Amino acid sequence: MSTPHNAAVEGQIAKTVLMPGDPLRAKYIAETYLEDVECFNTVRNMFGYTGTYKGKRISVMGGGMGIPSIGIYSYELYSFYGVESIIRIGSAGGMQDDVKLRDIVIGMGACTDSNYACQYGLQGTFAPIASYELVEKAVNVAREKDIKAVVGNVLSSDIFYNADKSANQKWRDMGVLCVEMEAAGLYMNAAKLGKKALAILTISDHLYTGEELSAEDRQNTFNDMMEIALEMA
């Protein structure tokens, strides 16, 4: 079935979906890594493709910016298209001194300042975590490829330009590795629906050193993250 946000029909989407935020990155992955590629979605220019990688059938689709966006796309993939695993691949801002530019962060848990969990009516605070199976696979692939990967807690923030200038330091003090904007929502959808999810992130800038990657460096470094996700899918 199609939805207001996804034109795919039954059978067009694989059981595993790689989900960058940028739909053009989804297009890049499909054109660079996949064979026998079919485009299944162009609604709102949120491109989605299915193809094969080393004989494995894999889909890749953009997820947009922020929890509300990835919340919609991941919910529909899990609920209406039979997707079992979604691997988010995106950029993040480093928050700890030992998390450097180009490092890969595997999000074991995802803190958040979002109110996304209010829909579940829980009498407490839900802790969004990744699928251990996917975490283990990602760590093993990174080791095999000799790619540095750090595993730990990330922050999924609703706010890019925060009026509270002390907010980052408070999360840093709790050992949070980096900040991005989607993982917690993805993890909550997966938990509620009995599915699997993981965020693999590349540090593209650092909130405390002021360092940032150039456009060319981002392209080359992001390939490491993409290849980890493809190999483990």
Per-residue tokens: 61: 């689709």
Active-site residue, from 97, 205, 217, 224:
205
The per-residue pLDDT for 1 is: 72
Which amino acid is located at 213 in the chain? L
Measured CA distances, 108 to 49, 131, 172 (Å): 27, 8, 16
The per-residue pLDDT for 215 is: 75
Distance spanning both ends of the chain, measured CA to CA: 24
The per-residue pLDDT for 214 is: 85
The per-residue pLDDT for 95 is: 98
> Which neighbouring-strand residues pair with 103?
none
Query: What 3-state DSSP class applies to 225?
Result: helix
- Asked if 205 is an active-site residue, the reply is yes
The per-residue pLDDT for 220 is: 64
CATH code, 16-232: 3.40.50.1580
How is the chain split into domains, by residue range? 16-232
The per-residue pLDDT for 216 is: 74
| Rounded Cα gap, residues 111 and 162, in angstroms | 16
- Low-confidence spans in the chain with pLDDT less than 70: 219-221
Query: What 3-state DSSP class applies to 83?
Result: coil
Tell me the pLDDT tens digit for each residue of 43-87. 999 999 999 999 999 999 999 999 999 999 999 999 999 999 999
Torsion of CA 119, 182, 60, 79, to 10 degrees: -10
